[in-house]
Amino acid sequence: GQNIDQPTEMTATEGAIVQINCTYQTSGFNGLFWYQQHAGEAPTFLSYNVLDGLEEKGRFSSFLSRSKGYSYLLLKELQMKDSASYLCAVRDLGSSNTGKLIFGQGTTLQVKP
Amino acid sequence: KAGVTQTPRYLIKTRGQQVTLSCSPISGHRSVSWYQQTPGQGLQFLFEYFSETQRNKGNFPGRFSGRQFSNSRSEMNVSTLELGDSALYLCASSEGGTQETQYFGPGTRLLVL
């Protein structure tokens, strides 16, 4: 089956570092995405991992371990505007060999002063 | 390039009615995917269209259908609306390869009374 787990809520302090974990089980893994979604807005693309390792993009980094079915999103130097929902999504090739995204429930991050 | 656009942005319907939502992808993108987002279920995949053909389908009833036109614009239709269809409907476009990043539109918020 397909299953993606991430914590429901997290709280962190402005200027700090926070790590949001995501574990997954899929039948045809072909990449993992992280999206940011502010309340009432559309998800915006943050990062994409298809090979094991760390991808760094400014204050945001994403890590993938395919053997463990595990990823994390690392946010450094937190700002108030980082308060949002963070969605972990896995591309599942499935049987039709096309790409559909399976999303986790999202982690709501609240950044406090 | 202009982003993904969706119309209308907000819609109120009553049970039993039908509704059509429209999505215009980023110029040059040939794949359009549709998702339903609700507080309880999160983001769930509806279907994906590529070159006017449905390439993948989620686990939604037949009341949910879609199509894609030769200019890659896509529509989704929901017939015989139910209260539970109230949700944010998001479309996402990509160039079409199975490793391409999907970019989301602002969504159509549908309320069924």
pLDDT at B40: 83
- pLDDT at residue B99 above 70? no
A54: buried, middle or exposed (CB in 10 Å: 19+, 13-18, 0-12)? exposed
- A 10 A CB-CB count for B84 gives 10
pLDDT-derived band at B109 (thresholds 50, 70, 90) equals very high
Q: Please compute, for residue B44, the number of CA atoms within 13 A of its CA located in the half-sphere on the CB side.
A: 15
Instruction: Name the DSSP letter for residue A104.
Output: -
Please state the rounded mean pLDDT for residues B47-67. Answer: 93
Q: What is the pLDDT of residues B24-51, one digit of tens each?
A: 999 999 999 999 999 888 899 999 999 9
Residues of A near B (Cβ–Cβ under 8 Å) read 30-31, 33, 35, 41-45, 48, 50, 87, 89, 91, 93-94, 96-106
pLDDT at A98: 61
pLDDT-derived band at B98 (thresholds 50, 70, 90) equals low
- Interstrand relation of A84-92 and A29-37 (parallel, antiparallel or unpaired): antiparallel
Q: Which two tokens stand for residue A80?
A: 């108030």
- pLDDT at residue A94 above 90? no
